[in-house]
Structure 1
Amino acid sequence: MSSIQRAAVLGSGVMGAAIAAHLANVGIPSLLLDIVPNKVTPDEEKKGLTLESKAVRNRLANFGKLGLAKAKPAPLYSTKDMDMIETGNFEDDFHKIAECDWIIEVVVERLDIKRQVLAKVDEFRKKGSIVSSNTSGVSITAMAEGRSEDFRRHFLGTHFFNPPRYMKLLEIIPTHDTSTEVIQDMRVFCENVLGKGVVIARDTPNFIANRIGTYGLLVTLDELQKSQFGVDEVDVLTGPVLGRPKSATFRTLDIVGIDTFLHVAENVYDQSTDPEEKAIFAVPSVIQTMVEKGWIGEKNGQGFFKREKTAQGREIFALDLETMTYRPRKKLSSASYEAAKAAPTLQKKLQTLVYGEDAAATFIWDVMKKTLIYSAALVGVIADDIVAIDNAMKWGFNWDLGPFELWDAIGVRRSVERMKAEGLSIPAFVESLLSQGESFYAQQGQTVQSFFIGSGYKEAKHDERKIDLALLKENGHLVMGNKSASLVDLGDGVACLELHSLKQAIGPDVVSMMMKAAQEVEKNFEALVISSEAANFSVGANLMMMLMEAQDDNWDEIDLVIRQFQNANMRLKYLKKPVVIAPYGLTLGGGAEIAMAGTQLQMAAETYCGLVEVGVGLLPGGGGNKELLMRWMERMPNGTDLSPIPLVQKAFEAIAMAKVSTSAKEASELGFLRSTDRITVARDQLLAQAKLSSLELARDFVPRRHTGVQVVGENGAAYLKIGVFGMKKSGYISDHDEKIAHHVIRVLTGGKAPGGSVVSEQYLLDLEREAFLSLCGEPKTQARMQHMLQKGKPLRN
């Protein structure tokens, strides 16, 4: 869909503005329109503005756009991209949608208003442009009634989940009139360009994820009111132990907004013709009462939970649904839960809890059995197959397993026998499965080979845009490895170094594999990629190991470890074959140093990259100071008389303030990316794109040559120290912060080397290692390291 060069977003509320922001993230300019206000504000009146003033007429769209810079979490990769959003209003600027290739309606959730706006779209749009409605449940078919044939062929629902930048799920809802080519093209565009996980949903109330998710939440609430448990205890039971987010059930409702949840539930209730379903979606009186009181969740300060000030500080209190008062949270007492929590795998956790024998296990079983049966009854109703339903729940509600994957995990036959014994009716879809097999999915290791469709099993298609490291290893592509890292053959002459230590922390095993991988790739491969499929790229060095060595005064050991890590990064940097690093998620400390060691970065858009060692009283020790300095110095225009000190200052600020990017674009602004580096929006395509980039580089690859680094010397150091002195004098930093900052300055400015001289990279690495060792010996640094390990946050001492 390269033809989508410009978009229009109609409606500038929270969702509309956030969709425009994500379009800007991926380089698509948009027109953000909203209605014209019917009166001026007091501030506008003071400025002499009237209803005819452009600033007044565009107020709503301008407000939506300006709010993007302050919103948390940030909707934009970089606030610099705000310039890609043009604002206007429905009366003066609607004709401009004729310039747009995709028009997204995001107005209020009322069919009559949506139909009015879409009628106007039909009047002004150009033929062939895509038109979609972002709705969480209004009928797409009803919206299209009465529209032109070309409109209907190019119209569909695009249900973004909030916030659009971060939530992977996008439900595409076609009508019977929507062109199959449009459906397919939009799917590919939304996956490749917007980075979404797309599912095709049928035009039914609340589509897929909200239909099942809302049902599950209501069933949980219903069972809660029959049980001895409180909302806090149920959140413990329905969180990570079930493969669900920490926010679990009632914390999730507080985040989403209980008023929003009420609207979604009522939408199914109003449209359902099934008495049993209608009974479940009849919103409980407790929800109605909470909405009437304004207890609608985080946005109003209280819902199922409330933060209050106490003598111990701010504490979270839970709502007692019987008394409608808040009480201190209780600790869950359950042998089944404790056993499940200790189980080694998610499958074992689920089986332990579901088939346990205490009240907690019974509670989970009663919720789960109803949700599973409901999901099975909707196959062919809300979606064509179980894969769409499972993906919708994983991507939209952050479940680790969708309902049919979960059913496989607890055992379909065993659970169905129990359901029947309890008098439950089993959907024909499940009965059909058990007459032909034992599970909804047929797998090889962790990889799905086929899935059940009712009449039998359908082969799962391999997506060439994605690489599955686990499958490659299962099929004999493991070249070598140890407990912390593996070298995997990706095919076509490309190898991948995969980090799989705890939190991808960098220790001796990882460094050893970096050196072995370098040797193997130079001998037998055309290129190397470094990435993995874990939650994050790397949280940095093994801090516990470093602290223990420092407390035991093993300075030679620390020196050796740091020297080996520096050597491994330099080995990668000057490898005779191209090295593409593909970081994503947390890429901190040593992880960022590995990222900067490659020939090229293929960075995921959602990468949070930074040299954060100052937070534990250290400075980067694996070459990070040197590499960030070199990247900034490369930005100095050739033939200029400008001082390089401001560029050195940029590197210093990033390191001394432990700045962490909120995106790959911001990582570039902090100096971590070069102009030749690339950004991938679709996280699940990152490894495949890194492989393609490595093959491109391999065609005519010329290894790097050592060129040295120009340093600014003691004059530059004096300039930077003035700033540090000012911060110390103002009370912003402590004595120990000042000491660390001076070490960073010494490394970045070249120590005693004269200003303007060129030093070797090894010279800077030696300065860096000396500074690292010196700081390791400081009691206040060791206290910071200890505090981080115990509390998970920095200590200011």
Structure 2
Amino acid sequence: MTNFTVKKVAVLGAGVMGAQIAAHCVNAKVPVVLFDLPGKEGTPKNGIVLRAIENLKKLSPAPFGDKADAELIQVANYEDNLDLLAGCDLIIEAIAERMDWKHDLYKKVAPHIAQNAIFASNTSGLSINKLADGFDAELKARFCGVHFFNPPRYMHLVELIPTAATKPEILDQLETFLTSVLGKGVVRAKDTPNFIANRVGIFGMLATIHEAEKFGLSVDVVDDLTGAKLGRAKSGTFRTADVVGLDTMGHVIKTMQDNLADDPFFGVYKTPAVLAKLIEGGALGQKTGAGFYKKVGKEIQRLDFASGEYVAGGAKAADIIGRILKEKDPVKKFKALRESTNPQGQFLWAIFRDAFHYIAYHLESIADNARDIDFAMRWGFGWSVGPFETWQAAGWNQIAEWVKQDIDEGKALCNAPLPAWVFEGQVAEKGVHTPEGSYSAISKSFVPRSDLAVYQRQEFRAPVFGSGGADAKTAGTTVFEDDSVRLWHSGDEVLVISLKTKMHVIGDGVIKGLQRGMAEAEKNFKGLVIWNTDAAEGGAFSAGADLQSALPAFMAGGAKAVDPIIRELQDTFMAMKYSNVPVVAAVAGLALGGGCEMALHASKRVASIESYIGLVEVGVGLIPAGGGLKEAAVRANKEAKGNDILQFLKTGFTNAATANVAKSALEARAMGYLKEDDVIVFNPYELLHVAKVTARSMFDAGYRAPIQRPVTVTGRYGWATIRGQLVNMRDGGFISAHDYKLGDMIAEIVSGGDIDQGSVVSEQWLLDMERKAFLELLNHPKTQERIMGMLQTGKPVRN
């Protein structure tokens, strides 16, 4: 194999997308240079790029994993700095969607592109072949489309689009880089207008607007029906359009109008009158403060199609339709929607029928196979299930018959028949997804998944309904399983513990499972990895200790009945820290409270970039008592190396006292929750592989448990210094009296208590202090109010 290493990336165009792509490259430790036009006379030469980088820091959701990395983007302009392109292995053009502008820029940069560099356009829908017009054959072979979705840090999808001349190995190299380094899900698309996700997604939005008008439904009802209830982005249809920008949506629709005149669905591509009117009036959605919705004071108003005015919003789906959508069996659900007399039910059947009709008709021209359409919609539009998967799960033949019937009766959006393959051979028997592969209408065969080497790093690839494949919940050899945990392995010398509780909260069953896992790993394996089966699908690592399971003990015997529970939690985490084989925490998603403490006590952490880590106990009126504060003291002690420990302690104190949660693994490292040598992984599907490799290599390098060291603490001097700041915050009205009490207790523990500065204590001393404070708080009425409020509403009570 030949390694293709991207040593540096150039991004041409510092607009919203270009700047965010550059930010994500920096997140992944890829050096990047960001170009734009030179500033006008009398302004800084790189002013446009510098302003774009400043804007990135304010964007939400944040493009940077750690804002401090903004300075790592190298700034450049097309007048003075084209020579920098020679040092770049990948050049991504991301300027405005105008063919003539892009061609002008290409002429300017082409002479400066290095011999083996890949040149790519992030166009969302222009023809890649037409963009390559005018290139010499040599550059044409290294040019392709690489279409990121907004926001590029968070959206998993990247569409890769070759021209007729693109060398195949270029695509393999780029797919490997995008998958492993930038953490993306790559779908290869054909050079058709708007490629796959936008073509199907924007058609879906247009069909939804069309059917909503037909059935007389308001925008808020449509959004409630087409959001989380369908397993799609919770913003639904119209709110999503507002967020994307109605001008952007108009632009993508125009690409379809200009290039798809012979498409039988062409009538649907006309810009809806309501959308045209909004764009004309400058109401472009969220960025202009008004679109399909408008914020008036605290109230969100919706556009009324009939009057063109904004009226009170907030209407929801009808109860009966809500109940149908909760039905777990897709076959029953679709039968109920198809037979519903409620306009909302008829509307939902209609938008599904339109989607099924569209993807079946266009499969041959827009995608290599059905799987690519499903992944494009899941990864690019946030659907939990792709459209072909939905159809197959609901009964392939029955749905096909119903769609055909609607087409024959003139109820569909056009009269183009479903293609013959829908009713023939293996598709009719099984559907489009089978264990052999997914159906390709071009080759009339079932195409297996890509076997590029990079996918060997994914023990469990993104699943597809109907295609079999290993299920992470049952794969491998089970060593032990109950309601709380599963201990298992894949015959590769590493034991894995997967938590099965809701949000992977830590109760008695999980603690016993960890103890059993460590004992088993020490006897028979090279290491133990804590990894959850939904890590790649946005599940939590652990949302913390299971408060609810400790309630019965507390109700029966008060705080002292909880003492042995906390003690056992602390002992188990300490056993992890001092285990004789490495324990690796594979963190992804939420790691809060006890979940954060579990990760802190592992021998090492391998974290997905999208890890949200923090000690949040003050939100329920408690303090961390699973060793989180003890670790703050231990780590400050280590970092200080003989300097004033208090300077290093402040971070740990502040994080815990303010329940500060890291918004990425990079931020968690800056906050001290991850260590410098912990591993950050960008593709969540690679998390398990990297965690296992890490555990095995630690063992093979002769791993030994660390020796327990005494901890030097700041004592009453540190406690008093921190307390002084808390007093100011309380007296200034920034924190409540109960927050002050919690902060004071945290300060007492991290500084080691009422003892001399420079005293030496054991980890157990600090753990005992944590436990004592925790139990005292459990008896406090204000804490009890916070706990009950959280259990009842799921929101923190500020008292």
Say whether the fold is shared (TM-score over 0.5). yes
For the 8 Å contact 2:330–2:394, the answer to whether it is kept is: no
2:183 pairs with 195, 199, 216, which one?
Answer: 195
Q: What secondary structure sits across from 2:164 in the alignment?
A: coil
Partner Cα separation in structure 1 for residue 533 and residue 675 of structure 2? 24
Question: How does 1:285-324 map onto structure 2 within 5 Å?
Answer: 285-309=273-297, 314-324=298-308
> Which of 775, 778, 795 matches 1:776?
778
Helix, strand or coil: the match of 1:474?
Answer: coil
**CA 1:299/1:547 → structure 2, altered by over 3 Å: closer, same or farther?**
farther
Matched residue type, 1:94: L
How far apart are residue 690 of structure 1 and its match? 0.6
Alignment match, 2:257: 269
In the alignment, residue 441 of structure 1 is paired with which amino acid?
H
SS in 2 for 1:157: strand
**SS in structure 2 at match of 1:781:** helix
What is the correspondence of 1:322-471 to structure 2 with a 5 Å cutoff? 322-329=306-313, 331-332=315-316, 334=318, 336-344=320-328, 352-353=336-337, 356-424=340-408, 425-432=417-424, 437-442=429-434, 450-454=437-441, 455-460=444-449, 463-468=455-460, 471=471
Contact 1:547 1:786 in 2 (8 A): no
In 1, Cα distance between equivalents of 2:347 and 2:525? 55
How far apart are the structure 2 equivalents of 1:347 and 1:12? 48
Q: Deviations over 1:417-446 (max 9, x none)?
A: 11222234212332335665232222xxxx
> Match of 1:373, SS?
helix
Residue 33 of structure 2: aligned partner:
31
Q: In structure 1, how many angstroms separate the alpha carbons of the residues matched to 2:181 and 2:679?
A: 14
What is residue 117 of structure 1 aligned with on the other side? 105
Unpaired stretches in structure 2, ≥5 consecutive residues: 409-416, 462-469
1:788 aligns with 2:776: no
What CA distance in whole angstroms lies between the structure 2 residues aligned with 1:472 and 1:769? 36
Partner residue, 1:253: 241
Matched with 1:204 is 192
Q: Which amino acid aligns with 1:277?
A: F
Kindly tell me the number of residue pairs found equivalent between the two proteins. 771
Q: Say yes or no: does 1:149 pair with 2:142.
A: no
Q: Structure 1: which amino acid aligns with 2:584?
A: V
Find the residue that maps to 1:464 and give its secondary structure: helix
Structure 2 letter corresponding to 1:35 = L
Letter in 2 for 1:788: M
Equivalence for 1:87: 75
1:77 paired with 2:77, answer no
AA of the residue aligned to 1:738: Y
Structure 1 residues not aligned, in runs of 5+: 40-49, 443-447
**Residue 648 of structure 2 corresponds to residue 659 of structure 1:** no
Amino acid at match of 1:692: V
Once the two structures are TM-superposed, the CA of residue 548 in structure 1 deviates from its matched residue by: 6.0
Q: After the TM superposition, which residues 135-174 of structure 1 pair with which residues of structure 2 at under 5 Å, given as runs?
A: 135-174=123-162
CA distance in 1, matches of 2:421, 2:310: 44
- 1 CA distance for matches of 2:448 and 2:497? 30
Residue aligning to 1:65: 53
Please give the alpha-carbon distance, in whole angstroms, between the structure 2 residues aligned to 1:143 and 1:29.
Answer: 26
**Contact 2:636 2:645 survives alignment (8 Å):** no
Distance in 2 separating the partners of 1:706 and 1:284? 69
The answer to whether the aligner puts 1:676 opposite 2:680 as a matched pair is no
Shift of 1:560: 2.0
Task: Report which stretch shifted further, 623-632 or 23-32.
Answer: 623-632
Is the Cα contact below 8 Å between 2:716 and 2:757 reproduced in 1?
A: yes
* 1-structure distance, mates of 2:503, 2:578: 27
Matches within 5 A, 1:492-503: 492-503=492-503
TM-score (norm 1): 0.93
Secondary structure (helix, strand or coil) at the match of 2:265 reads: helix
Please show how residues 226-237 of structure 1 align to structure 2 within 5 Å. Answer: 226-237=214-225
- Partners of 2:224 and 2:317 within 8 A in 1: no
How far the C-alpha of 1:629 sits from its partner, in A, is 2.4
Q: CA RMSD in A?
A: 2.0
Q: Quick check: 1:33–1:87 contact (8 Å CA) kept in 2? A: yes
Matched, 1:620 2:620: no
Query: Take 1:360 and 1:106, find their aligned partners in 2: how far apart are those partners?
Result: 40
1:541 aligns with 2:541: no
Residue 336 of structure 1 contacts residue 357 of structure 1 at CA under 8 Å; is this kept in 2? no
1:241–1:340 CA contact under 8 A, matched in 2: no
Partner of 2:528: 528
Query: How far did 1:183 drift?
Result: 0.5
1:696 aligns with 2:697: yes
Query: Match for 1:273: what amino acid?
Result: A
Cα distance 1:453–1:608, how it changes in 2: closer, same or farther (>3 A)? same
What amino acid is aligned across from residue 466 of structure 1 in structure 2? Answer: Q
What code does the residue aligned with 1:792 have? G
Indicate the residue corresponding to 1:721 in structure 2.
723
Give the equivalent residue in structure 1 for 2:640. 636
Match of 1:18 in 2: 20
Query: Which of 387-396 and 270-279 deviates more?
Result: 270-279
2:616 alignment partner AA: V
Please give the TM-score of this superposition, normalised by the length of structure 2: 0.93
Give the whole-Å Cα distance in 2 for the aligned partners of 1:512 and 1:351.
Answer: 45
Structure 1: which amino acid aligns with 2:759?
S
Between the aligned partners of 1:69 and 1:338, the Cα distance in structure 2 is 40
Counterpart for residue 466 of structure 2: none
| Distance in structure 1 (CA, Å) of the matches to 2:667 and 2:141 | 39
Match for residue 44 of structure 1?
none
- The Cα of 1:337 is off from its aligned counterpart by 1.8
